[in-house]
Chain A
Amino acid sequence: MRLIQTALAGTLESSDAQVMVENAGTGIELSIESDVINQYGRQIRETVLETLARLGVENARVRVIDKGALDCTLRARVECAVFRACRIEKDFPWGGVIR
């Protein structure tokens, strides 16, 4: 998927995460802020990168502010931000690349 615009999804509430994605030159540039970065930083990183790869996003600058989100919440926020950045608003591929 090719990002057309900068997009944001999620909130800074507890158990949530805010994800911002924007188009970037080459590769994935990922930054993560989290109060639990020492315990879960690697897991958050893996979840975000796995989700981007599944969606076929190859070039993006991604910023995650984690507030203790579960993996499923993190995946939901990354997917939402990417689909918003691609300006896709209906006929989402539930069970396809969204899973």
Chain B
Amino acid sequence: MRRSMLFVSAQRPALLKDAYVYKPDSLLLDLEDAVAENQKDAARFSLYHALKTVDYRGVERVVRINGLDTPHWKEDIRVAVAGGADAVRISKCEKADDVRTVVRHIEQAEEEFGAEREQTLVMAALESPLGILNAYEICTACPERMIGVAIAGGDFRKSMQTRYYPGGLEMLGGRSNMLLAARAAGVQCFDTVFTNLDDMEGFRAEVEQNKQMGFDGKSLISPRQIAVVHEVFAPTQKEILEAEKIVRAWRENSALGIGVFTVDGKMIDIAFIPGAERVIMMAKASGLYRGDL
């Protein structure tokens, strides 16, 4: 589950060692835009030792590497794998070959550093119209490692010759296309950052829209944003009760060889089960369900 993915600059030791205390689902340890060009090496040394030393208490550690059009990404992959990062986020991903290239280098690094094969997962940031148009091929380029895709609003808006507008109409095409591709491929899908920290009302509205559209979560730039995302993505008590009834009824009926049954007057079959199980999982993560499912 990845509702909240918090960016942390690998250039800042204080953030690297403390960010997990805010309890995001994932940390995006950033070697790209948050690190000055002449500090890429220093950020890697800090990142390596943080990964090796800090107990992140189960918070997922994703390393954002520099783009494949830079001289930095190969060394970024080496340090991420050597440090034992959970995943690598590919910046400015535009085609399936970008994913394959990164995966090939991850495989080399896993061999070089004696890491378990397929230890390091990947996700791709789609930042351009071409990336969005190729989203399905990107999502399916490496099924055994691919977590999902994230849209990056800043660059995407720029290349679409627009800017941020409340309501997000300018992002509708990009978000929708990426969601369709991710769902068709069976991988996760994450929305872009919301950069105005003074507009928490606008932020909440965007998160609510994300949930409505079907996103799994959102990239974040401040710990202040985490609680809002977790609150919005948490299921309601009504949804939890309904999901619990469905899962229990499914277990009882399927044990008797019955595939279709009713719960509170609604017809239920196997198609309802993944959704109900997901609600229970989200409820557990949000501290709203302590039942035995």
Q: Which residues of A line the B interface, CB within 8 A? A: 9-10, 13-16, 69-73, 75-77, 79-80, 83-84, 89-92, 94-95, 98-99
B196: interface (CB < 8 Å): no
Contact B48 A94 (CB under 8 A): yes
- Complex interface residues of chain B between 99 and 122 (CB less than 8 A to chain A): 113
Give per-residue flags for B50-71: 1 if the beta carbon is below 8 A from chain A beta carbons, else 0: 1011100000000000000000
B42: interface (CB < 8 Å): yes
12 contacts between A and B (CB under 8 A): A10-B42, A14-B14, A72-B50, A72-B53, A73-B13, A73-B17, A75-B49, A76-B42, A84-B41, A89-B41, A92-B79, A94-B79
Contact A13 B14 (CB under 8 A): yes
Q: Which of B17, B54, B74, B83 contacts A15 (CB 8 A)?
A: B17
CA distance A71 to B113 in the complex (A): 23
Across-interface contacts of A83 in B (CB, < 8 A): 41, 45
Closest-CB distance, A88 to chain B (whole angstroms): 9
Contact A76 B41 (CB under 8 A): no
Closest to B42 in A: A80
Across-interface contacts of A98 in B (CB, < 8 A): 45, 48
* Interface bin, chain B: 20 to 34
Across-interface contacts of B82 in A (CB, < 8 A): 94-95
Closest to B49 in A: A72
Q: Which of B12, B50, B53, B113 contacts A13 (CB 8 A)?
A: B12
Across-interface contacts of B13 in A (CB, < 8 A): 15-16, 69-70, 73, 76
Contact B41 A80 (CB under 8 A): yes
Q: Which of B45, B50, B83 contacts A79 (CB 8 A)?
A: B45
CA distance A90 to B53 in the complex (A): 23
Closest to A94 in B: B82
Q: Which of A16, A75, A95 contacts B113 (CB 8 A)?
A: A95
Across-interface contacts of A75 in B (CB, < 8 A): 49
Across-interface contacts of B218 in A (CB, < 8 A): none
User: Which of A9, A71, A76, A80 has the largest count of B CB atoms less than 10 A from its CB?
Assistant: A76
CA distance A84 to B54 in the complex (A): 25
Closest-CB distance, A48 to chain B (whole angstroms): 14
Contact A15 B14 (CB under 8 A): yes
Beyond A80-B42, A92-B75, 6 additional contacts (C-beta under 8 Å) are: A72-B50, A72-B53, A73-B49, A76-B45, A77-B45, A91-B75
Contact B79 A73 (CB under 8 A): no
